Structure 1
């Protein structure tokens, strides 16, 4: 019979399509040895019951066959198979929410009781949380008088609290976790008492406003308000300038909210700024689409932009809605609360976003591109969570009106062979995802092509055609990428991208300056202008092998200190002018202050600092050390063979490459083979494999 821990390991494996040993370590807070021992025990038990065993497949993780999935639950009737184990990530969120509502002194001992882990483990969690929060411009500080505290912009802290509460609420025992956090601060049974009062108040606000909020979002916001009221018991803050406050105070939602707060048990702690803040959140709640709610000022910016969104979508998807009126009505009703959420930077949780992106990939990227005018109006990017919900709306429109859609279609013509053609195809798909590359042909194959529908041609050689033609190099340069983007904008929207020409700018420079090396200056100006054109469309995100090229990889036999290892690892980035020397100093200072948080996996460290610490362009380098360098004398798990230095220019551009690197590092066999490699040429195939 399996013991409880082994049964939990088996349950986690069966509840996932794929899961790695490293993920099991994090979820169970166990060592690799313990997880491997449990898997051996599970396989022995499966064999004793004449079942297949669980196998670890490279690139996939632990896989259980259908035979195991169908039979195993019958064999374990006495084990509480569905008990929930908070993961490593869950515990970080629990600690943050506890700090969000703290009124009294909080020490490591308090957090130890909260998450039921050892003191050293809690300290590691605190260090990691501190590092995570710094990326969001929030500080986790400690002093002897007050213990642990959160410092930073109040809106940023609250936005993260709402996001973390929403996340925990999606877990199987999320309400129980939130109740434990709340009662730990307020006292036993306080959660349920106050929760019922909050639910009653929110229902009364619904009735007074004559709206019906979407249940899931209403529940998330109710719980957030409940935790927020604990936070504001201790201090009052001026949150808004008077002009913003006066605008919100004129809305019916504010007046209704203020009326109910005046009868609420905690009314004395909820001052006017907080009622304005609550009103903003209520404006950001989606409502079930009732006919009487469709009221709008036809001249409003949002109402006009809905027309533009529909028009852009039609152009991108090569379709026309025969009846735009219901499309506009439904889209406006969804976008109105989304507009307020984006305006007031209120986060939204969409637990289905990854599934939407997988199952409706084409539709998702077309909708994302169609929302450009809304992003421009609000001067902010729209999250994938918001785009996911809007994608479902467009999917419903298309289904209801019986319309099929497609992306713009492109064929690639290249005489240089399969490898070059494939590389060009992958570059094109990353540069403009709303274009589908439907064929890759040689010039002779194109001559024989007939009766095939496509919109334009990307070619490395001149050809005769009546279709739109873009001629590029086999390996796309920055100039090629800018050219493709401009041509695509013209093809879809019949408009030219406004750009400054290199010769025009050079002419202006000559009027006011003496040029000592005209050829070199021309090249630099050209690269800046074409690079800016690519960056301006905010599409280009390099993949792993575009950053981790051969010249960015080094191999060393032994390095005495972790400080020296980081300096050596960063040398290629300095030599190629990706970073400044001070970026290296910032990485080392971070580790000295926070600890070896950068050791994110066994034998692997990923040091980094903030963009403003000296990053000139996005980049990545790798140092492979034959004999591991220690990042902590007290912890053998901090011995490192692979150091990946990340240089990020913003919060987005490097994410594609970083996600591919993460997948590579989850492949334990690949990591071991990279460590055993004796040359950079032996490492490159692994980089290329995970860059697809």
Structure 2
């Protein structure tokens, strides 16, 4: 039996099939000694099963076709037999295995499948039902049917998609899916299905999101098994009629024919729904598209709630449309997704996440849908990328490209992070790993990727959301490699590689974090400005109480007065705030009788500031009754991001009905400051 690291080395060798030793060791972060040890263990195993071993000659790795064929045939079962499945994996595999069963399943089936006791299986069944709860599906047992799923076919399939997306992020996911199929005497036809879908993608100019496509391929195989068992989905006739008018319905019909399965209208309609949820919108959408109008409204809401004005609104709308169109269909038809980055997004971009949630509330009401946090997370990444779009540089030395299979929002966020860190490079738009495999290495000099790839060029493996420490270390590594700095500090990975030669590392991640702190704790590579909290900006001298101001223009002048006095803004900024309302309407109203007048930084902002004016009697923007405002909050932002923490705290305050009422009833500065301090701690 192979040890965990040796098995992983074998897995990576089979996945990448590398030819160059040193570059491969760098990619999987192993020393030469560790790699030699792992290869000896792998070759010892191959010798026992009668397969020609892997050969290392100088800096070359020679993998015979016999080894590759062995892995293709036995890899899934081999991996499964090497590892015991963790609890969450057993829950997921239990569901998928039951979904495609061809015979009644007893407790013994799962004892044998997982190598666990009868009591463990019974406990797992309870966990499975907890996982199923939100999908109106339940696992039941009877002597006649054994373990089976109770619920509608549509709910079962949506549950399976959630299960697939959860398992897909686990290590050796493809092998585990193959294992599930093999245990039912079936083949994993992933490659065949992928090729068929890619053919239709090219023929009909679709653009699949790579991560979603992977999930869809596994689901489609399982749905086809269900179709062969005559287990059909039921979809409302009106929904089927709507879907029949989509081009995706034609493509779905052709896919079914090509793969040899039913073209029943409801089954094709189900497939159409899935395609709509994984196909990105057109690059140049037609302006009459209702979804484009909704996208435009989201951009307007974002500018309003984030108190910014995007320089290239058309570009912003087109890129957002690419993401929002499939997201809209996922939400409309309740197609579940798993955003593996969600916790990172909520931690690294907490303030922006709060603002985006607020931005989407009017859309939720308009469409009568609930936006899941997984989707909010992806939209947060998207808007984070939009905020950084403006930076560029004329010096372009290296051709750099990005490979990110996580979808357009993650790609956009990553692309803009990297462009801001390395503006001197000539950047190519993000590639899927599938498209990268067909790209000549003469087309680029550097690769930044979220997954391991086979390439002869320098490859930097990064997370879609990088911490400040990771950004600083990446700058050191890249600039050292590209000789853009005279001295190259060692990176944490380089130090760990040295340490491993002389010591066993029991907690490598903790050691890596500690090394990053030691190497990059100084502020000379600081990325971005410190973000002040609400109480830092909305201070006592910036708060005013006035009984009545009849002219709304005078109200904006009044709320801006403290910022003029402390030299945060110029008179031009006040004039532009008023002009914006005249030309763009009452967009500054963000809540019940609350307005936040603002303009772009270049129109007279000297430093970040915020002021508040409370009126006893309301004034009316543009003289219209429906635009009643009692509270004005003037924001002077120096860029698109530094004010976001304070703004997110203010948004949270204004979104709380009880706190908003207290703000409206405030009679002295202390009442307002108490609220400001309370929400500055969030």
TM-score by length of 1: 0.48
Does 1 or 2 have the higher relative contact order (CA < 8 Å, sep 6+)? Answer: 2
